[in-house]
A and B are shown apart, each in its own frame.
Chain A
Amino acid sequence: MRLFFVYVLPFVLLSFNFAEGATVQGADNTEVSVQNPKRLVVINSSATETLFALGLGDRIVGTDAGSTYPAVAEKLPKVGHPYRPSAEGIISLKPDLVIATEDSLPPATAQQIRSAKIPVLVLEASDKSGVDGYKRRVRMIAKAFDIEAKAEKEIQRFEEGLKKINSSATEGKSAKVFFLYAHGAASGRIYGTQTGPHYLIEAAGAHNAAESVEGVKDFTSEAMVKMQPDAILVLKRVSKNLGGTEGVLKLQGISLTPAGKNKRVIEIDDSVRWIGPRFPEFAQELNTALAK
């Protein structure tokens, strides 16, 4: 009997472990076969957050320089710029799986990593298809790790968070929100539909003032005046660059909008990476600010 426990059982258990292998099709249409990966390199901050949310954070051995949340992630080895990580840098961390989003890993780099026999799971971009995109990303990761039940729980938490947002609270008050991204007086960008800010504003129960625009376009003050937003949404660092709320309000054209007249500038945390695990929280915060 003792013989069984010492010699046979470990092998039986080990073979169970091998049975965990899974085949997942990535967003780049490349199939990835993985067997319970233990060392992960994750490129894209939203993907990193998602892995932590799924309880896989302790397996991450490296990330891109942009992955700074949660605090533990900041201390992990960094393999380079969020959109141009180094292939050899990734390989040097000896991962058994690389997870990246399609916008953060150039195809040539993915090919180089795959040539070193390291599987690369490519997810959709983190601002693509909004909430549906997030669900697909969570399920794709779950399939690779065989933790479907946990993933459904995360999706449930996510959806409940969104449901809790009282969109009637913002009715009439600040229906149109303009997300402003700028480094200075004349370098802004407009975020229309199919962008992270658009989904965030919608989830908060408001409307994107720039919804007539698709994607990201250069900013003109006249366009903003035409859009007549009720509130301006900015990242904290953008606000800081422009000299705080006062600075934002001084931007050309803003005084001619309801947002400017009512001095409604809402700041949002820099760490929002559009559709990640904290998306419902950020939407709730925006909702609360708008309802005031």
Chain B
Amino acid sequence: MNLARRSVILVSFILLLAALLLTIVISISKGAVTIAPAEVVRILLKNFGLLTQTSVDAQHEAVIWAIRLPRVLQGVIVGATLAAAGVVLQGLFRNPLADSGLLGISSGASFFVAAAVVLQFHKFGLFTLPLAAFVGSTCAILLVSGLSHSARKTQVASMLLAGIALNSFFMAGTGLATYFSTDEQLRTITFWQMGSLASASWTSLAIAGPFMLVSIFGLPFLAGSLNALLLGEDNAQYLGVRVERLKWCIIFLVALGVGASVAISGLIGFIGLIVPHLVRLVTGPNHKLVIPGSILVGAILLTSADLLARTVITPQELPIGLMTSILGAPFFLYLILREKRRGLHG
């Protein structure tokens, strides 16, 4: 890598980091309830124990501290997780369309949530649905890897096919549950599938956050091996990559992170699919850059999408899963058309 390219990438990363911080600050200060920036700062300092002698409006404090801050942080961490998972899945399958939806992770979560709602299983109160989603997505990914594991090794192609089969199976299951649901249950299922950060709380972050953090901080370590994998499995093997172990690491980390994110935010589309492509435009295919870049861009994109979702039609708000798909799909089409014009896809 020459010096000019190196400095372009360094500057991009610094800019991304700054953009993430800026997005977080704007997101914390904007919302349906208007709070002066100075008061936002006072509230934050007070709650972090840095400012003791200050008086703040109790209601504003609750809005910032109990509602908005956990929501913004959840947006950052969920966005980062989904994007990171997207990159490594695309790397593992060497398929630009791979994302967590393709392996049945989302539909597995949907099915378990729908089943829990219809069977009126609510043993864990507010955390019943998140738990169901987590179990569902983990089951899905275990099934996919189990089904595609032959005596010798895990076949990536059959993994993809198993994912597609499971997807339609889980979708049918969700349909069946929907069919037997009452109107109220139907609404719960439908809204859950739209995805939302609205129920974010410190508790949800404390429960799901660690899983996602393991995945966010664990996945970048696989970058070198993923780079080798770009040359094909056999070549990667010759280069000393333990391919089988790499696959299991990826599956484990993705299941952990995406499962936890689906659990607390429902289905949020397009982040895992689109962010890696976006980042590769600048960095090229090197996973050592694509993974951290995607983590940053994913966090920025989801946080800003949520900011839009909850401010464009205040005091109402839009489900974020819709927001990312509405904004994501046209952008994705634009990228494809641009590539096509460049002649890269024939």
Contacts and interface: CB of A to CB of B under 8 A. Distances in A.
Contacts of B196: 84
Majority secondary structure, A binding face: mixed
A62 B315 CA distance: 9
A266 B196 CA distance: 40
Given A107-B126, A115-B66, A88 B182 contact: no
A94 B179 CA distance: 40
Contacts of A78: 315-316
A80 B316 contact: yes
B268 to A, nearest CB: 16
B198 A91 contact: no
B31 A88 contact: yes
A65 interface: yes
B315 A116 contact: no
Interface residues of A, number: 34
Contacts of A15: none
A90 interface: yes
A138 to B, nearest CB: 22
B201 A108 contact: yes
B34 interface: yes
B68 interface: yes
Contacts of B54: none
Contacts of B315: 62, 77-80, 86, 88-90, 92-93
B314 A112 contact: no
Interface in B256-282: none
A117 B317 contact: no
Given A86-B198, A87-B198, A103-B184, A80 B317 contact: yes
Contacts, number: 87
Contact of A89 (B199, B314, B319): B314
Given A89-B314, A117-B58, A109 B199 contact: yes
A77 B68 CA distance: 21
Given A83-B187, A116-B66, A116-B67, A89 B34 contact: no
Most buried by A among B63, B196, B198: B198
Given A86-B310, A103-B184, A109-B199, A91 B179 contact: no
A91 B33 contact: yes
B221 interface: no
A93 B315 CA distance: 8
B126 A89 contact: no
A112 B201 contact: yes
Nearest to A78: B316
A7 B319 CA distance: 53
B59 interface: yes
A216 B187 CA distance: 13
A117 B62 contact: yes
Given A80-B317, A117-B58, A215 B191 contact: no
Interface residues of B, number: 29
A115 B199 CA distance: 13
A189 interface: yes
Given A78-B316, A80-B315, A215 B33 contact: no
A89 B31 CA distance: 8
B297 to A, nearest CB: 26
Contacts of B183: 189, 216
A115 B182 contact: no
B179 A218 contact: yes
Nearest to A112: B67
Contacts of A81: 316
Given A90-B315, A93-B315, A117-B58, A112 B33 contact: no
Contact of B317 (A77, A86, A112): A86
Nearest to A64: B316
Interface in A82-120: 83-93, 103, 106-109, 111-112, 115-118
B63 A84 contact: no
Given A78-B315, A116-B63, A88 B199 contact: no
B313 to A, nearest CB: 9
A92 B314 contact: yes
A168 B310 CA distance: 54
Interface string B190-215: 01000010110100000000000000
Contacts of B310: 86, 88
B67 A88 contact: yes
A91 B64 CA distance: 12
A101 to B, nearest CB: 11
B26 to A, nearest CB: 15
A15 to B, nearest CB: 24
Interface of B: 31-34, 58-59, 62-63, 66-68, 125-126, 179, 182-184, 187, 191, 196, 198-199, 201, 310, 314-317, 319
12 contacts: A77-B315, A78-B316, A80-B315, A86-B32, A89-B32, A93-B315, A103-B184, A112-B67, A116-B59, A116-B66, A189-B183, A218-B179
Interface of A: 62, 65, 77-81, 83-93, 103, 106-109, 111-112, 115-118, 125, 189, 215-216, 218
Please name the 8 residue pairs, one residue from A and one from B, whose CB atoms are nearest each other, closest first: A89-B315, A92-B32, A108-B199, A116-B62, A80-B316, A115-B66, A88-B32, A86-B317
